[in-house]
């Protein structure tokens, strides 16, 4: 796997871990202010995951096109 793919997967894993951590803090919190902050972190994590997934897809598509050219 290329470094771009590895970085994308690492970013997706980090975003997923952040999402899980925020969800757990929301589930265990009764403080409305903390919940709002965690929801903001969840939105950021979702955007980060989506951006990394798009990067990985672009790389995969590019490799596929190169293989089609060589075939």
Angle between helix 32-70 and 3-27 (nearest 10): 160
The pLDDT assigned to 46 comes to 98
Which are the contacts of 15, defined by CB distance < 8 A and separation ≥ 6?
45, 46, 48, 49, 52
The pLDDT assigned to 71 comes to 80
The whole-angstrom separation of Cα 12 and Cα 21 is 14
Q: What is the mean pLDDT of each run of 10 residues along the chain (71 residues)?
A: 88 98 92 89 97 95 91 80
User: In the chain, count of helices (H) and strands (E)?
Assistant: 2, 0
């Amino acid at each position: 796997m290329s470094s771009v793919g590895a970085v994308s997967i690492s970013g997706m894993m980090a975003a997923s871990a952040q999402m899980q951590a925020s969800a757990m803090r929301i589930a265990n919190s009764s403080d409305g202010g903390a919940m709002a902050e965690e929801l903001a972190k969840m939105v950021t994590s979702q955007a980060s995951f989506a951006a990394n997934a798009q990067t990985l897809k672009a790389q995969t598509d590019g490799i596929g096109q190169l293989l089609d050219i060589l075939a």
